Each structure stands twice: as C-alpha cells, then as structure tokens.
Amino acid sequence: MRNGSVPDIVVRRLPLYLRTLRQLQREGHRTISSEELAQLLGVTAAQIRRDLSFFGRFGKQGYGYAVAALIHELEVVLHLDRLWNVALVGYGKLGQAIAHYGEFEPNGFRITAIFAKSPEHIGQIVNGIVVLPETEIDRVVREQGIRIGIIAVPLNAAQEVADKLVAGGVRAILNYAPTVLHVPPGITVREIDPISALQSMTFYLHDRHDASRNGQDEQSFADIMKRSPAGKRPAAH
Amino acid sequence: MRNGSVPDIVVRRLPLYLRTLRQLQREGHRTISSEELAQLLGVTAAQIRRDLSFFGRFGKQGYGYAVAALIHELEVVLHLDRLWNVALVGYGKLGQAIAHYGEFEPNGFRITAIFAKSPEHIGQIVNGIVVLPETEIDRVVREQGIRIGIIAVPLNAAQEVADKLVAGGVRAILNYAPTVLHVPPGITVREIDPISALQSMTFYLHDRHDASRNGQDEQSFADIMKRSPAGKRPAAH
DNA sequence: TGGTGTGAATACTTTCACAGCC
DNA sequence: GGCTGTGAAAGTATTCACACCA
C-alpha cells in the first residue's frame, strides 16, 4: 500500500466512498464496479479508480471490487478500524445538539469529554460524563490522550479554545464556529459552516422577482425529472 | 461587473471574505489590503485579488479595498442584499436544532416553512410558524415562492424530500442527510457532513498507541505556537 | 467479455511577478 | 511608495483511452 503523498482532496472523498459501500453492503451487494459506484456518488468512474489506486490495487479486472474487502481497506487507510475519543468544547444549543447527535458513535467517534464556560452547564451529566470547565481542557485532553476536538463555542472564544485543545495534544479539529482558526503545522481543521454554504448557493439564484414569476422561466417538472447527480459545480445560468 | 462563468470554487470562498470583512467593519476598520485579509483568512493575497477580479475592480492601488464598499459588492454578487425564505424539512433532533439556530436570520435567511413526518411534531408552533406535514411541501413551497430548502430527515427519506422540494420550485438545497442527492441540472446542493469531515481527518492521525506516548514524537508547545493558518491541506506526515 | 489501473492529455486552480495607477 | 489587477507560468486534478488481466 503506497501512501507517499495523497492529495487532501482525495482523502476527503474516501469517507463518501466508505459510506456508500456500507450502504451497499447493508443492501446485500457483494461486489461493485467503479462505474456503478460512480453513478451512486455522482462522480466519474475514472476518479474512483484513480483515488483508490493511491492506496493499493483493490479491484479485480472483469469483476469490480469486493464490497466487504474494500470497506475494510478504506477503514484501515482512514484509521477507522478503531474508536476515536473526542473532546467537545461548548455546551450551548449547538454543543448540546452535537452531544446528542446519534451518528458519531456508530461511525467511529465517541465524545468522552465535554467542556463549557457557563456555570449553569458545568457539572451537568451528559451520556454519563460530567461537563467540565474549559480551564480543564489541557489536563483532561492530555490524560485521555484525545486527538480530536470539536469546537462549538461562540466566534470570540473559538481561537482561544483551539489553542487550548492543541496545547493538550489535539491534532484534528472540527470547527463549528464561523471563523478561520490559526493552528500550527500538522494540525488538521475542517469547518462546518452552513451559513457560508447557503450564502454561496444564493449566487446561483436569481433575484426576488423570481418568487412571483411562476412557470415562465421555471423548468418544467418533466425537465426536472431528467435528474443528474448533485453537482458540486452547479449549472451555468 | 463581469460574470460570464465564475468557478464554483471561487463562489464558495466569497462568503468567507464577506464574513471576515463584516468582522473587520465591526472592529472599526475602514480599509484593508489583500495582504492583510489574506493573513486573516489563511490564504494568499493573490488568490483574493484574483477571486475579486472575477466580479469587478473593487480595489484602489496604493490603498487597498474600502471595507464597506467591498461588503456591499459581495452582497450584491451573492444576492445577499435581501432576505431569503427557506423551507426546513425534518423536525427531529437535528431539525429542531436547525430551527433554533440563531445565525440564519442575521445572515440573510429566514425559515418560513417547516415540514415533518411524525404526527407528534405536526401542528407544533415554532418561531410563529406551524409545522406542516411533508405532503404539503409542494403546495407551500410553491405558494411562498421558496427557492432554498434544508433537508434534515433520515437517510432513507432524503431523496424523496429533495424531489418534493425541487418539484415545488426549490433550486438550492442544504443537505444534512448523509447521502448524495440526485437532482436535475441547475439545482445546487451543498452537504453538511460532520461525520465525513471527522473521518477524513483521522487519515492524518496515527494509531491508538499515540495516546499513551507522551512528549516523544509530540510537538513541543513552543513549536505549536509557531501557528500557521488553518490548512485545508494538512501537513504531510 | 467486462472492468481495472494508469500513462498521457486535458482542464482547472493557484501563484508569480510586474506594469500601471493612486 | 504601496498595492491592485492580471498575463504568463507553475502546479493540481480530472478525464480519456487502452493495455492488460481474470
């Protein structure tokens, strides 16, 4: 298994492949071709084959990929053949929603430490763990050997929290705060930013008068049903 | 203002520029150079200048950009000089968190329709609007001229909901369900997928034994403090 | 026959570097 | 003098297309 230097954009696609493969496995598929997988994902078959080839030769000519085997390979590549402990910082509305989100646990992540600033939250027990003050971040993250942090604090506190997480040993941060975090080299950050996502989509929407025009420059329902894969690059208008 | 065909990757960065500019304005800055803005965002100055040049010539040589004017230009380009009505589908834990998230409204988006499947949610009143059954999506979205939908339903229902939104006239979808949506050309979809984000970061983390090794192949705190902008492309290991 | 893995070609994106302007 | 806007160059990513193999 090569690994030299895989482009980050490839790494980001692997979880999507994994997710779809697991779905296929649940549905009883034993095998899949790059072409079929590509259809499901709305990408090209060549891209899937190229992406996977960074890590090994997992397919069989004239046959495709064995679903279970490919799932396993991806889990190994992504280090998902284990459970990762995660620290959550922030226990306001957003932090609470994250703490109770049921999808982390079955996908390889367990929140094992929660930190809050507000005295009203500190001391609460959530999923069997006690909400601690943010001053404890360094100690607890270090003691538990936590490598992944989730930031769900307000804008102004986010950088400070990131610093504390990194000081404690965190090397990957999922950032829900609407700000760019500055971190040392070697630390990975991914943003969750629904506002920016919405704001970039409105670029492709016409102005308010659209709302009242009906049927005219609208696509017909028949047109609409010629569905294509969800484009990262939306139609040119 | 040119507009011919702007790369989607450029469009996606504009909200980040806007966000930072608004922050600068709040702090009293009147003017900013591409270099300063680049520092704040962790990108290059050339990239910012090139991105903005797709839409016009907003800067002044020897001076930089007027913050207020640039904010206005970006709002116009992104069609954020108005308030957009949004339909939310799904009112489970995730949908409720979205409905009560305070950042949509001040950023140009107002949830004006909420749809649920479960009878226990239908009829509830949220922010002054009644939660409706999903069978009403087509009618209500059409009547209100809604162009933006947020999907917060379980995996299995997501495609069906997307179809209904599109049939009603929605042309931009923010998808929280962990699945690729297939939509007709001209419809824009953005994914919010914290699981995939986490799973792509673990690629860069070493195995479980890291947790107990302390100080050895760790970066020192001093090293760590040589912070660099949060990289989209994490350090090669 | 059917489908992978991958060189080569193409397409896209970023960065350099500097003329030109305030 | 300082900073933009942008050709040209460099760097990345995707797609084509086919040798090769089960």
Single-letter residue type at B204: Y
Residues in contact with strand D, defined as Cβ under 7 Å from any of its atoms: A 7-10, 43-44, 46-47, 49-50, 60-63; B 33-35, 45-46, 49-50, 52-53, 57-65
pTM for the complete prediction?
A: 0.92
To the nearest whole Å, the CA of B14 is away from the closest chain A CA by 7
pLDDT of residue B140: 98
| pLDDT 10s digits, A79-124 | 999 999 999 999 999 999 999 999 999 999 999 999 999 999 999 9
- Give me A78's structure tokens: 């992504």
User: In this structure, are residues A130 and A123 in contact, taking their beta carbons and an 8 Å threshold?
Assistant: yes
Q: In what order do the strands lie in the sheet with B59-60?
A: B31-32, B64-66, B59-60
pLDDT of residue B78: 98
**pLDDT at B224 exceeding the cut of 90:** no
Among the residue ranges A18-32, A39-53, B116-130, B209-223, the one predicted with the least confidence is B209-223
| pLDDT 10s digits, A139-187 | 999 999 999 999 999 999 999 999 999 999 999 999 999 999 999 999 9
Percent of chain B residues past pLDDT 90, beyond the cut: 84
pLDDT of residue B206: 83
To the nearest whole Å, the CA of A62 is away from the closest chain B CA by 27
Single-letter residue type at A22: R
To the nearest whole Å, the CA of A111 is away from the closest chain B CA by 12
Q: Which residue has the higher pLDDT, A156 or A2?
A: A156
**pLDDT at B208 exceeding the cut of 60:** no
| pLDDT 10s digits, B137-185 | 999 999 999 999 999 999 999 999 999 999 999 999 999 999 999 999 9
* Per-chain mean pLDDT for chain A: 90
**pLDDT at A237 exceeding the cut of 90:** no
Partners of B228 in the beta sheet?
A183
* D strand bases under 7 Å from protein CB: 1-7, 12-17, 20-22
pLDDT of residue B222: 52
Among the residue ranges B97-106, B125-134, B208-217, the one predicted with the least confidence is B208-217
Collapse the DSSP code of A159 into the 3-class scheme (helix H, G, I; strand E, B; otherwise coil) and give the result.
Answer: helix
**pLDDT at A30 exceeding the cut of 70:** yes
pLDDT of residue A231: 45
H runs (alpha helix) in A122-202: 137-144, 155-168, 194-201
Residues in contact with strand C, defined as Cβ under 7 Å from any of its atoms: A 33-35, 45-46, 49-50, 52-53, 57-65; B 7-10, 43-44, 46-47, 49-50, 60-63
Protein CA A8 to sugar C1' D9 (Å): 24
Going by C-beta distance under 8 Å and a sequence separation of 6 or more, which residues neighbour residue B193? A15, B176, B178
- The angle subtended at Cα A43 by Cα A38 and Cα A47, nearest 5°, is 85
CA dist B95 and A140 (Å) reads 32
Q: How confident is the model at residue B213 (pLDDT cuts 50, 70, 90)?
A: very low
* Per-chain mean pLDDT for chain B: 90
* Residues from chain B contacting residue A169 (CB–CB below 8 Å): 214, 218
CA dist B46 and A199 (Å) reads 23
A vs B: CB pairs below 8 A:
292
**pLDDT at A209 exceeding the cut of 60:** no
**pLDDT at B50 exceeding the cut of 90:** yes
Single-letter residue type at B84: W
Q: How confident is the model at residue B228 (pLDDT cuts 50, 70, 90)?
A: low
Mean pLDDT of B224-236: 49
Place of tokens 């990108």: B43
Closest CA to B156 of B173, B119, B174, B181: B181
Q: B219, exposed or middle or buried, with CB in 10 Å at 0-12, 13-18, 19+?
A: middle
**pLDDT at A16 exceeding the cut of 90:** yes
User: In this structure, are residues A199 and A177 in contact, taking their beta carbons and an 8 Å threshold?
Assistant: no
Return the closest nucleotide (C1') to the Cα of B46: C15
Q: How confident is the model at residue B47 (pLDDT cuts 50, 70, 90)?
A: very high
pLDDT of residue A232: 47
pLDDT of residue B141: 98
**pLDDT at B24 exceeding the cut of 50:** yes
**pLDDT at A228 exceeding the cut of 70:** no
Mean pLDDT of A186-208: 94
Q: How confident is the model at residue B136 (pLDDT cuts 50, 70, 90)?
A: very high
| pLDDT 10s digits, B55-93 | 999 999 999 999 999 999 999 999 999 999 999 999 999
**pLDDT at A60 exceeding the cut of 60:** yes
Helix (H) or strand (E) holding A132: strand A129-133
